[in-house]
Amino acid sequence: MRRTLACLLVAPLLIAAAVTTETPRIQVVPHAVAPRVDVTIDGKPFTSYIYERSQKKPSLYPLRTASGKVITRGYPLDPRPGERTDHPHHVGLWFNYGSVNGLDFWNNSDAIPAARADEMGTIVHKRVIEATSGKDKGELNVEMDWVDSKGTLLLKENTHFVFQGDAVRRVIDRITRLTALKEPVVLGDNKEGVLGMRMARSLEQPSTQADFFVDASGKPGTTKTVNTEGVTGNYIGSDGKTGDKVWGTRGPWTMLQGKVDSEPVTVAILDHPENPGFPTYWHARGYGLFAANNLGQKVFDDTQSEAKRTIAPNESMTFRHRVLILNGTADAAQIAAEHRKFAEKK
């Protein structure tokens, strides 16, 4: 009897231990040394939050599909043959803007001449507030400072990332809160913003324009050439417009479709109804820039008035976006349904 009773008492403890030691599906783990936080799903790399000061802003890099295909450009961090060598400030998935009290946070990089430093702003990672792994989602909460070239603080940023995924999809929610301090911060009407991605070469749109590309040895080429090999991308807007016609349109979502290593991929950015400027304008370029700009207006449409938004001292402005990375080819009805689900989130 005593032995039976002891077994009955021990069994629940063993079950509880098994439950508590189960490895979460979605891991969000700060690196012990390197300036990054790694995100894996079901044991496979998804992305990393990277914050080298030399990049002038933190970003998620690289981004992968559920099957492991990289959908973001490698240049300038990890150049791959055949990639364009333009816009060294386009790294992975990021958030910033081209007119903040007149300063340009969007175009800043190590390639900017010293003489232009005072025109630029930098987003500095300050700390990881919390990194949480889980069965159904992983979360990362970080703090950043928006500063001018002298280090003067203009905005405090708090961003909450939520990572999800399964066998055929990856999802990133980014909730960004910008807070002004003692002085007001004016966000001007500018095309450079706000949530941007730089896509892999295969997800660009085919173009006959000559440009500079990374050569076979991984170094930037010195001669402009035309190269459309393996380039398969096509933008599709919520209004039905496609290709280059999507740039400057306004809508709750836009998707980009193409193939990576012969695998069909759909990437969509969803804009939340509570965002400033909803529905967002799309700064979507055929060379691989995919961006949702909630703050520009007249710069995209001359019939509109100039947008100028002010964050008053001790006040905040919040942005919510979702990025979907889907295996296969989704249709407009599917993405619209995804947006309706996202729109319900507060």
Provide the token pair at 194.
Answer: 């706000």
Please report where in the chains the tokens 């500079």 appear, as a residue. 212
What does the block give as tokens for 96? 């910033």
Please say if the pLDDT value at position 120 is more than 90.
Answer: yes
- 21 pLDDT band, cuts 50/70/90, is low
Q: How confident is the model at residue 19 (pLDDT cuts 50, 70, 90)?
A: very low
Asked if pLDDT for residue 14 goes beyond 80, the answer is no
| pLDDT for the residue numbered 15 | 41
Mean per-residue pLDDT of the chain = 94
CATH placement of domain 26-343? 2.70.98
Residue range 265-280: mean pLDDT, rounded? 98
pLDDT band for position 22 (cuts 50, 70, 90):
confident
Write the pLDDT tens digit of every residue in 239-261.
999 999 999 999 999 999 999 99
Q: Is the pLDDT of residue 283 over 80?
A: yes
Return d(Cα 173, Cα 162) in angstroms, integer.
Answer: 5
Q: Is the pLDDT of residue 207 over 80?
A: yes
For the chain, give the percent of residues with pLDDT over 90.
90
Tokens 């430093």 label which residue? 117
Give me the DSSP letters along 202-250. GGSPP----B-BB-TTSSB-SS-B---TT---EEEETTS-BGGGGTT-B
Per-residue pLDDT at 18: 43
CA distance 172 to 93: 10
* pLDDT tops 90 at residue 7: no
Q: Residue 6's pLDDT band (boundaries 50, 70, 90)?
A: very low
